[in-house]
Each structure stands twice: as structure tokens, then as C-alpha cells.
Chain A
Amino acid sequence: MSSTFTLPPVPIEQYALENGLRVILSEDHSVPVVSVAVYYDVGSRNEKEGRTGFAHLFEHMMFQGSENVPKAGHFQYIFNNGGTMNGTTSTERTNYFETLPASQLPLALWLESDRMRSLKVTQENLDNQREAVKEEKRLNYDNRPYSNAFLRLDELIYKNHANAHSTIGSMEDLDDATIEDVREFFRIYYAPNNAVLAIVGDFDSNEARARVEKYFAGIPRQPVPPPADVTEPEEVAARQEIYRDRFAQLPALMLGWKAPARRTEDFYPLNLAGDLLLDGDSSRLYLKLVKGEESVVDIQGGTGERRGPSSLYVFAIPKPGHPTVEIRATIQDEIKRLAEEGPTAAEMEKLRNTLLNDSARGRQSTMYRAKRLAEYALYDGDPNLFNTELERYLRVTPEEIKRAVKKYLLTENHSIMEVVPAQSGTEEAPAPAAAQPSSEPAQPGAPPPQVPSPPPARLPSPTEPPAPISDATATHPEQPLQPTDAPTMKG
């Protein structure tokens, strides 16, 4: 192991326009492409009661035309000029992004600025996208096993509506959304001073600054939006529920813990503890449950990273003859062991090398960098964290990991969801078991698991082309879609 191993820092220029738009530029001339990401500081955490799913529905409206761009013109302009694009909504933020041939940077700035300054909304387009979003909800949640149970788990983990409810929302709330809601939301949240623009790739910074000024400087600043209240009460008891899932063929066990907010001192060791327990074939829970006890078919999990309280979750599919109570006990034992013994030297080396490897690979794709830079700028006011946060992770000690596991995971105050296959045709509903049911809807932040193996975090977005036939999962983030027939990977 080379202790002097260093990664070349990503060059970062950061400044703000008069109207408050924060701009991040990062030149990279390796490949003649450019990625543009616009992040707005609004997500489902900002939604009012009775308007769940609205931030995401609004995101769809951002593709429905502005003063100089017709409905769906955004799709047309990007694809027909050789680009890829999308947008997603999470609890924390709404993002819009495109990668284009380097020569088309002006097009991206024109498109993003036009919708930031002059979104056009019509009742017809709202009705149309409401239907598209409802189909998205059916496709990704209502017509799938485990997905809605997963949203329900967030309602158990969180007590504050802002945190607990789902980003996809409820059908009723989607139905209730009005064109006035859209206009108001645009005025409050889609202001330059509530957004970050990141540009990464093959361009000249001086030219780009001039273009950004040209397209964005004239968009007026708006009053600062009201802050989201994401405070959570202290956890005082375990919550437990049984969820009857009419599509699940196999039972499942889900566990959830409330975790500290991202970038807090305790978050770093806890996040790494989650990796030790759950990340891959060398993780403690995989080796114990899938291999050792042979009691589960599969186990997955991880951290749902948020600015408010984060969460940590586990999803396991038990084998016949292995009651969930037994599996839960084993998981508790492993958590206890990590809290008491801490990670081994080999595990610390694994964490270190995995962090270095992931950081190096994350420097490849311009889109991945644009998103991360925008995120750090929006949440932390410091895009340079792209270069420096690694150092904080590398400083985490075994002792910190022990303490974090003890404090946050080795506690009775967590949420337990047992998914039971229901007879098809019967109503899908949470059935209260030990604890009281919540009257509220759901939330992701962490991905809804899929069987037999989950996709990367699936955030509601305006379009999502199908995976190529018999294609593999991308093992790294932000890989563009590959055409046809790549091997299905196990490992």
C-alpha cells in the first residue's frame, strides 16, 4: 500500500451572479463533451401536507415548455443534438442535467435559463404530466413487490411529515394539484438565488463565464424561500409493522434506523459502518447470513443521506424455514459485535482502498462530477468538498466506527417491517402489529429494493428509458446506457 497515493484534484472555479445564482466551473479536456447540472434547493421535504408528490410533479412541468421552448422541446433539443438528459427529485433537492457534445454548451445554457426565467404552464400540460406521473408511480411502486413497503418503512423511521412522506406522493394529492400550485411553487423555489449551476467538461472557462452571464444574469432574484423544518423528535421506542404485499412472492424483512445528518461528525463513521455491515460479498451481514447461516437469499442496505436526519436500512429476503425473528437476532448480534470489537485492520484497509477507488472512478464522468459539485455547492456552499471530503472519510478511526454503531444502531429504537406475501387480488395495506400505524403516506431517499437485486437509487424523474434487453447493472454510478446484450453480472 502506497501511503503517498494521491488523486489529482479536480479544478474548481466558483462564483455567484448578481442575482444570487451560484456557478461552478470545472474544465476537463479529456473527452469533447460537456455536462451541465442545475440544482434547485427544493425537494419533497418542502411539500405542504395535502401536496405530497408535488415537487416531483413540478419537475415534470419543467419539461413542458417556457417562453421560447415548446412543450417537450427540451427533450427534442437535447437528444437531437447528440445529448442525454434527465431530472430527478429527492427529499433534498430537484436537479436537471444534460451531457452534450462540447460544441453544444450554449444550447444547454439557453434551455436551462429559459425555463428558470419563463416557465409556461397550461392546464392541458399539467393534466398530461399528472397522468405520466401516475403511471410512473404505478410502474415503480404500486405494481411492484416491496416498493410501497419500502416507502412505508420511511414513515416508521421518521415522525416529521416533511421527512416521512414519499417523494412520489399519493394519487389523491397528485389529483388535487392545481395550476396555481405550479405557478406559486415556481415563484417561490425556482429563483436563481435558490439554485446552483455546475458546468464540467471540455470548454473554456472565460467563454463559459460570459455565456452564463448572458443567459442567466437577467433573471430576477426572489425572496428567500421559507426553510424546511426537518427536525425529528428523539426516538423513544421500536416501531414494528407487518405489510401485506399483494405482489411479493417471498416474505421480506426491512429494518430502519434514524441516522445523523450528512457531513456531521457522527455521519462519517456511521456511513462506513454501514458499508462494513452491508456492502458487497465481503460484508459482515452477507458473510454471516447468506453464507454462514444460509438463512437469507439476499441482503442489501445502506445509508439514505440527507441534510436532515439520514437513515440506515436493511432489506433481506429470508429462506423458507428461517423466521424473521431469528434473522433479526443475528443482525442485532452482528451490530453488537461491531459496536464492541470495532472493525479489524483488514476492514480498515478495505474501507480506505474502496474510498480511493471510488473517488478515482468518480473523476471520470463529467456528469457525475457536475452533480456532485452542484450538490456540495448547494448543501454546503463548498464545491471543493469534491476534492477534500475524501480526507475526512480517510481520517475515520476504528474507535469512531465503534462509537457510532453503539450510539445509533445498537438501540431498540428502530423500525421493523415484515413484508408478508398477500393473496393476489386482496388489498395492499399496512397491517398494524405491535405499534400504532401512522396515518401519513410514505418516503424514499433510500431506494426501493427490487428482487432479486436492487437498482441504484431510483429517484422519480421525467423519463427513464428501459434497460437494454438482458443488460447488466451498471456497477459504477452515472454510466451512460449501453446498447444491447451485455453480460449479467454476479459478484
Chain B
Amino acid sequence: MENQTDAFRREPPPPLAQRPLNLPTPFETTLANGLRVVVIEQERLPLVSYRLALRTGDAFDPPALPGLFEVLTGMLLEGTETRTSRQIAEAVARYGASLNAGASSDYSTVAASALSIYGGEVLELLADVALRPSFPEDELTLAKVNAQQSLIAQRAQPSFLAAETLSRAIFGQHPYAVVSATHESLEAMTREELSRFHRSLFVPHNAVLFIAGDVKRDEVLERAGVLFGDWRGGKAPEPHFTNPPTRDERVIYLVDRPGSEQSNIVIANLAITRKHPDYFPLLLMHTVLGANASSRLFMNLREEKGYTYGAYTSLDARRFAGSFRATAEVRTPVTGASLAEFFHEFDRIRDEDVSEKELNDAKAYLTGIFPIRLETQEGLIDQLVRLKMHDLPDDYLQTYRERIQQVGNFDAVRQAPRDARLRARRRRIDRQNQLEARQRAAPRHRSKS
């Protein structure tokens, strides 16, 4: 190793001049049947990506049928009025394309990507599975049996067990409490039920079609008109959800997993919706506290203490409610010590000023990684889907970095954990008094992948 240090090595070099980010401007129109279509022309590579997004997701499952939407979206690829599941899979593969369908709690997407030379054919496949699924009886039976087996397998994962108990505790009777189907709900799902749900929710007024890539706007709009123009349907019903419970004391849930090598710690509370005015301050707080490997929790629990491979927070801001979570997987003997460090960090960020440097670093992180997410066509189109599904303003991508920069109020950042109801009280954890060990009996499962 060298001893002589060149002067230029002592300090990090200053940045070069900024280079401009040219965000594509999406073109938006609405078909006569109410379907909104968003087109981004991008000639960079001979590729095209599609998303048909519906403003309906797992949260809309009937209370007696958790997992219905997940099964429904999965079944879209298992047969249409004119194609079997095998024909669908083989057609997609033959174009070298991909076609998926899936649901999150707030929305669902049918997604496809292809070489642009096959763009027209693949959009036809997407339309066929989205609009004309036949839910074949034998395929449904198979899907249900496999989902039931997956439910069993899922329970081997500590992260699943933690998420299951935690979501129930945080969201109560709100549908976000549910993280998977049950054996019973799978048993009860019928072809008729799926068809009925599909008819009432897969309607053009409830959907947005996104097209990004090497396409000509006029041509692709004409194609979309042919494939989706005859799609009919009424208004999707508005959801009415029970509010999540409020909380005024810390409750500890223990989930026993015999033989575990680690404790999965999740500390959480109800937080905010995606459109809440505190979203950006909370996003910055999350960045300072636990978003990445330079955040406070990681530096403390891993780099200083060596308790864990990683300690992080997550900001889970959804359309109807949200949570804020802090997590780490730690070797069992340091579970208590790790909890103490978590609460120490919560206290610190609540009670002490976040320095100007930390705040600026967090802003630099969020604004800097933003273009990285838009490097790929899939990254870009998924940002647009998210924006539309959460009713964010049309100039959201254009103004995102400004919105981050505008958070100037240190108080807002510091108060964020309180708004997030992350009440880390200063008292020792008294397991005897506060222990409320609960193990959920019903097995739940959250989809493939």
C-alpha cells in the first residue's frame, strides 16, 4: 500500500456540471367508452411496454373471500373465450414477450412487454386476457389447489408470519389487514364469483391503458381503439372501508416460530395515505432514519453494533391508509438490545433537530436516484401507473425533485414520526406488563413472487 497521499485524494472531488434530464411528455386521451389512454413515444430501442391498470385491488375483496382479486388476476392468463392457458403462454413466448397480471392492495395491472415489431400482436393478447377471460373450471380448480399448497409453504417464511400479524394489528377491520387468501376462502371461490367480479370491476371507466416505447402515437391509438373500443361496462362501485384502529399504547406481539435462528423485528404504526400533505416530509424522515445503508438505523444496528445484516424503515403510503415500519432480522440473543436501539433512534429523530447536512443529504439521495428509476422503459411506465393510480397530479414527475427540495421546515421532518404515530415512549420494555402474544390461526398467503 502506498504511503504518499496525493493532495487530491484527501477530499471527495467536486461534482461536474449537472446534465439535464429530459422527461418524456405523455400524451393522454380518453376513448368514447371512458378508457383513458396514455402514450409515451420513445424511440431509443425497438421495444414497447404496456400496462392496463385498474383502480381496484386486493382491498376490494369481499370480506368473506380474502384473496379473490389475487386469484382473479392470476386466472386472467389461464384461458379466454378463444384461447386456452397453454395457447396464451405459447403465443406470448413465441414473440419473446412477457405478459403478467397481478394485484396490489389498491390497484391491479395486466402488464406486457415486447419487441416493437410484435407490439400489435402482444397488445391483442393483453386485451384478450384482460377483457375476455373465461375462468375455465379445471384451471380454477388447479389454481386453488396450488394456492392452498403455497399457503402452507408461505408459513415457513418468518417475514410472512411477521407481516401477517403486523398487518392485522395495524389495520384491524380495514382490508389492508389481510395479506393473503385462506384455505377456506380459496375453497369458496367459484367461477361465477370471479366472472361477476370481473364484469363489475374490469370496466373502462375504472381503467387506464399505458403504452410506452418505440411506437407511433396515431397508429397505436388506432390499434387501442380497435382492441378496447368495444369494451363496455358501468361504473365500478366506490369502496367503503372501516377505519383502521387508533392506538395509544405500545403493544407487543410475539409470533413463535420454533427453532428460529433470528428474531424478525417489525415495529410499526399507522401512518399516512399517499396523498397526505405530509408525504414528502415523512419521505425525508424515512430517508434519514432508515431508507438505506447510510441511514441512522443501519449505521447503528449494523455498522456499530453488528446485530443485523440490515435495519431499515419502510414508508407504506397507500390510497386509503398507510403504515410506517422499521425492521431488522437479528440473532435471537440480541433481540432486546436491538429493540432498545430502535427506540433510541425513534426518540432521537423525534426529540432532536435533524441537522441541515442530514436533511440535504436525504434530499440529494431522493432527487439523485429519481432519474435512475426512469432509465428503463419498465421503470418509466411503472412510475406513470403509480402516479395515475394514486391520483397524483399530471406534472408529478416533472415536479418531483422540486417537491423534495421544497421541504424546508425542519419541524415538519421532526414531527413526522409523531404524525406517523410512531410513539416511542421512553420507558423500558416491560415484557410482563405489555406482552400480548398472539398467534393467528388462519393461514394466509400472498401470491406467487
Residue ranges of A at the interface with B (Cβ–Cβ < 8 Å): 1-2, 5, 7-8, 29-33, 67-68, 71-72, 75-84, 99-107, 109-111, 113-114, 117-119, 127-136, 138-139, 142-145, 202, 214, 218-220, 246-250, 280-282, 287, 290-291, 294, 297-298, 317, 319-320, 346, 349-350, 352-358, 360-361, 363-366, 424-426, 450-453, 462-466, 468-470, 472-473, 475-476, 479-480, 482-491
Contact B259 A353 (CB under 8 A): no
A residues in contact with B377, CB < 8 Å: 361, 364
Among A2, A133, A472, max chain B CB count under 10 A is at: A472
B residues in contact with A249, CB < 8 Å: 152-153, 155-156
Contact B105 A485 (CB under 8 A): yes
Please encode chain B, from 369 to 410, with 1 for each CB lying within 8 Å of some chain A CB and 0 for all others. Answer: 101111111110011001000000000000000000000000
Contact A466 B314 (CB under 8 A): yes
CB within 8 Å for A465 and B310 given contacts A364-B377, A476-B376: yes
B residues in contact with A470, CB < 8 Å: 104-105, 179, 446
Is the CB of B73 closer than 8 A to any CB of chain A?
yes
Contact of B365 among A32, A80, A364, A485 (CB under 8 A): A80
**CB-CB nearest in chain A for B370:** A82
Is the CB of B428 closer than 8 A to any CB of chain A?
no
B residues in contact with A356, CB < 8 Å: 96, 115
A residues in contact with B386, CB < 8 Å: 482, 485-486
B residues in contact with A128, CB < 8 Å: 303-304, 306
A residues in contact with B261, CB < 8 Å: 138, 142-143
**CB-CB nearest in chain B for A292:** B86
Contact A466 B312 (CB under 8 A): yes
Is the CB of B33 closer than 8 A to any CB of chain A?
no
Contact A491 B77 (CB under 8 A): yes
Contact A451 B153 (CB under 8 A): yes
| Bound complex: CA A101 to CA B44 (Å) | 20
Contact B310 A466 (CB under 8 A): yes
A residues in contact with B441, CB < 8 Å: none
Contact A349 B154 (CB under 8 A): no
B residues in contact with A320, CB < 8 Å: 149
A residues in contact with B101, CB < 8 Å: 489-491
Is the CB of B325 closer than 8 A to any CB of chain A?
yes
**CB-CB nearest in chain A for B283:** A483
CB within 8 Å for A487 and B102 given contacts A72-B299, A101-B368, A107-B13: yes
CB within 8 Å for A291 and B45 given contacts A297-B149, A475-B100, A487-B104: no
B residues in contact with A317, CB < 8 Å: 149, 153
User: For window 119-135 of chain B, which residues contact chain A by CB distance below 8 Å?
Assistant: none
Contact B361 A80 (CB under 8 A): yes
Contact A355 B96 (CB under 8 A): yes
Is the CB of B165 closer than 8 A to any CB of chain A?
no
**20 A-B Cβ contacts within 8 A?**
A2-B117, A79-B361, A81-B365, A103-B17, A103-B19, A110-B13, A114-B9, A117-B2, A134-B331, A135-B329, A139-B309, A246-B259, A249-B155, A250-B149, A287-B89, A353-B95, A353-B96, A364-B44, A365-B376, A465-B293
Question: B203-211, B226-234, B247-255, B315-323: which lies at the A interface?
Answer: B315-323
Contact A354 B331 (CB under 8 A): no
B residues in contact with A138, CB < 8 Å: 261-262, 309, 329, 331
Contact of B98 among A76, A220, A491 (CB under 8 A): A491
A residues in contact with B19, CB < 8 Å: 29, 32, 101-103, 202
| Bound complex: CA A464 to CA B312 (Å) | 10
User: For window 343-380 of chain B, which residues contact chain A by CB distance below 8 Å?
Assistant: 361, 364-369, 371-379
Minimum Cβ distance to chain A for residue B178 (Å): 11
| Bound complex: CA A29 to CA B375 (Å) | 11
| Bound complex: CA A82 to CA B314 (Å) | 18
Is the CB of B237 closer than 8 A to any CB of chain A?
no
Contact A354 B96 (CB under 8 A): yes
Contact A483 B372 (CB under 8 A): no
A residues in contact with B449, CB < 8 Å: 452-453, 472-473, 488-490
| Bound complex: CA A1 to CA B117 (Å) | 8
**CB-CB nearest in chain B for A461:** B309
Contact of A319 among B9, B111, B149 (CB under 8 A): B149
CB within 8 Å for A490 and B152 given contacts A294-B142, A466-B312: no
Residue ranges of B at the interface with A (Cβ–Cβ < 8 Å): 1-2, 5-6, 8-21, 44-47, 57, 70, 73-74, 77, 85-86, 89-90, 92-109, 111, 113-115, 117-118, 142, 145-146, 149-150, 152-158, 163, 179, 257-262, 274, 291-295, 298-299, 302-304, 306-310, 312, 314-318, 323, 325, 327, 329-331, 361, 364-369, 371-379, 382-383, 386, 445-449
| Bound complex: CA A480 to CA B156 (Å) | 28
Q: Interface on chain B toward A: helix, strand, loop, or mixed SS? A: mixed
| Bound complex: CA A127 to CA B310 (Å) | 16
Contact of B73 among A106, A133, A490 (CB under 8 A): A490
**CB-CB nearest in chain B for A76:** B294
Contact of B12 among A7, A110, A117, A290 (CB under 8 A): A110
CB within 8 Å for A357 and B114 given contacts A247-B156, A319-B149, A466-B310: yes
Contact of A488 among B20, B103, B149, B312 (CB under 8 A): B103
Contact B156 A484 (CB under 8 A): no
| Bound complex: CA A227 to CA B118 (Å) | 47
Contact A135 B308 (CB under 8 A): yes
B residues in contact with A83, CB < 8 Å: 368-369, 372
Minimum Cβ distance to chain B for residue A118 (Å): 5
Contact B16 A67 (CB under 8 A): no
Minimum Cβ distance to chain B for residue A445 (Å): 21
Contact A490 B446 (CB under 8 A): no
CB within 8 Å for A452 and B89 given contacts A135-B308, A468-B314, A491-B100: no
A residues in contact with B15, CB < 8 Å: 81, 101, 103-104, 106-107
Contact B154 A136 (CB under 8 A): no
CB within 8 Å for A484 and B318 given contacts A128-B303, A138-B331: yes
CB within 8 Å for A488 and B153 given contacts A80-B365, A82-B367, A282-B93: no
Contact B329 A139 (CB under 8 A): yes
Contact B369 A84 (CB under 8 A): yes
Minimum Cβ distance to chain B for residue A114 (Å): 6
Contact A298 B146 (CB under 8 A): yes
Contact A144 B97 (CB under 8 A): no
B residues in contact with A468, CB < 8 Å: 314, 316
B residues in contact with A466, CB < 8 Å: 310, 312, 314, 327
| Bound complex: CA A280 to CA B21 (Å) | 36
CB within 8 Å for A484 and B315 given contacts A319-B149, A491-B100: yes
Contact A103 B317 (CB under 8 A): no
A residues in contact with B95, CB < 8 Å: 353
Minimum Cβ distance to chain B for residue A67 (Å): 6
B residues in contact with A366, CB < 8 Å: 375
B residues in contact with A473, CB < 8 Å: 449
B residues in contact with A202, CB < 8 Å: 19
Among B98, B99, B153, max chain A CB count under 10 A is at: B153
| Bound complex: CA A235 to CA B302 (Å) | 44
B residues in contact with A319, CB < 8 Å: 145, 149
CB within 8 Å for A488 and B310 given contacts A104-B15, A246-B259: no
Contact B93 A280 (CB under 8 A): yes
Contact A101 B308 (CB under 8 A): no
**CB-CB nearest in chain B for A105:** B16
CB within 8 Å for A82 and B365 given contacts A135-B307, A357-B115: yes
Among A77, A220, A480, max chain B CB count under 10 A is at: A480
B residues in contact with A100, CB < 8 Å: 368
